[in-house]
Structure 1
């Protein structure tokens, strides 16, 4: 029995929705469940990997996805790399914001891509390329153009891929960024001063911000070089971007949580 099963039994917490698709691959279960308003992707247990609103498939549901999207306000660039697909929430929103944005999507599990295509309304566009590959292997390959945005959301059923918090991974991402590019990490805590990740971010990047979201996740924004905008200007740009996706005023205040990591 997994820890999630123990937690679920102890607190009588059950996964939401009726299961409409359940497949297995070498990494485990891939489950799609439906509620009246949402479609949910789970890998195992009760943890939601992705959630899609049936009324507006382009509207991100999870707060960390909204926080990650705020990075699009920090650059006018139109190339993006997504490490980790899940149910495609970030991909759909990015495409809705700019249908001409050129995007590469890297997903380890072929079955996740197949399920996302069948059940989660992935956008059909010749601007989007999918790669079934380990993220670190992909980052080591030569690419034809630098990315203005790299979104890293690498999670298994129960935890973050630990490589996402290493200096080696950060340097691989840096090599793929444009001069004005930003790396956007979905992390599980604010890097503590003196920790390995804190020191690596300080060593590798010219500017680092973060945003703590209500769910507890922390989204880290790391730029190759410092930018001229003030924090207040970046927050206002992020708030305006969220309004383009019709995200409510309550959640648009998420932009107020953007702060520098380093004093």
Structure 2
């Protein structure tokens, strides 16, 4: 492993690391990784094929976007990572909110993110400044070392997203959990259904009862359509009922 960056601490004490490895998930090659200090990868680039989308979840999100609104043009993305999703949407009008200025610098310097569409700040606060009915999609892909911040999963936040979406629009979320029995996933799905009339959850096949994995949630004003064979391995599931997430006072 060759470490390229590991020197700065964020306001919450988190450390970001950029390194290169010769194997990833059993595949041999040259890979550059953005990770938290606990080893959780936030983005992976195949240096031999830089246009390849390595993670499954951005491929599934792109399919949901293209299937739900084939002619979509406006999207608001909360969470930059290495810039995989917004870079792939460069022919659309996309705005990105990223709370950590280090990530904005790293995505450009180490992963070649080419666009000048990233605002640094809290995604919810920045989204509040957007015009109502302006976007086809809001995409939430924001993590700290602990998890997705709860103020980005509350009923009030989902209502804010609903205000910013047009009549065809949808909210897409990449979360991390243990499937339908996970308390946070259950709560996020239950909360989503208090705002949007249509909601779906998708997960990768389970490898172990305790294994956390990417979970996709989608809330929409219109019925949700998808082709499972194009969901990069994600399958639809129905979480158990959970509590409604409210903002802390």
Residue 12 of structure 1: aligned partner: none
The answer as to whether partners of 2:79 and 2:96 remain within 8 angstroms in 1 is yes
Q: Distance in 1 between matches of 2:105 and 2:236?
A: 35
Matched, 1:85 2:80: yes
Question: 1:187 aligns to what?
Answer: 175
**Which residue matches 2:4?**
20
Aligned residues: CA RMSD: 2.7
What's the offset of the Cα at 1:163? 2.2
Paired residues in the alignment total 221
Paired residue for 1:226?
222
> Hey, what does 1:67 align to over in structure 2?
60
Matched, 1:35 2:21: yes
1:129-183, CA deviations, whole angstroms, 9 ceiling, x for partnerless residues? 2100101111221338611111101111232222232111111111111211111
The separation in 2 between residues aligned to 1:26 and 1:201, in whole angstroms, is 30
Contact preservation (8 Å) 1:57, 1:92: no
**Is the 2:176–2:215 Cα contact (8 Å) retained in structure 1?**
yes
More helix by share: 1
The 1-side partners of 2:56 and 2:146 are apart by 18
Tell me, in whole angstroms, the C-alpha distance in 1 between the residues paired with 2:198 and 2:109: 39
Tell me if structure 2 keeps the 8 A contact 1:47–1:158: no
Following superposition, the deviation at residue 91 of structure 1 comes to 2.0
Structure 1 match to 2:247: none
Contact between 2:133 and 2:165, CA under 8 Å: does it hold in 1? Answer: no
C-alpha change, 1:193 and 1:187, in structure 2 (3 Å) is: closer
Alignment of 1:157 with 2:157, yes or no, is: no
CA distance in 2, matches of 1:191, 1:183: 19
Task: Measure how far apart 1:63 and its partner are.
Answer: 2.1
Contact preservation (8 Å) 1:83, 1:152: yes
| Cα displacement (A) at 1:199 | 3.1
The residue that corresponds to 1:54 in the other structure is 47
- Correspondence for 2:26: none
TM-score normalized by structure 2?
0.78
Taking the aligned partners of 2:190 and 2:42, their CA distance within structure 1 comes to 29
For structure 1, the residue ranges without an aligned partner over 5 or more in a row are 1-16, 243-251
Aligned to 2:164: 176
**1:109-188 mapped onto 2 (5 Å cutoff):** 109-124=100-115, 129-143=117-131, 146-188=134-176
Counterpart CA distance in 1 for 2:196 and 2:180 is 14
- Give SS of 1:24's match: coil
Q: Decide which of 178, 203, 206 is 2:194's aligned counterpart.
A: 203
Question: Greater strand percent: which structure?
Answer: 2
My pick for the range that moved more, 212-221 or 177-186, is 212-221
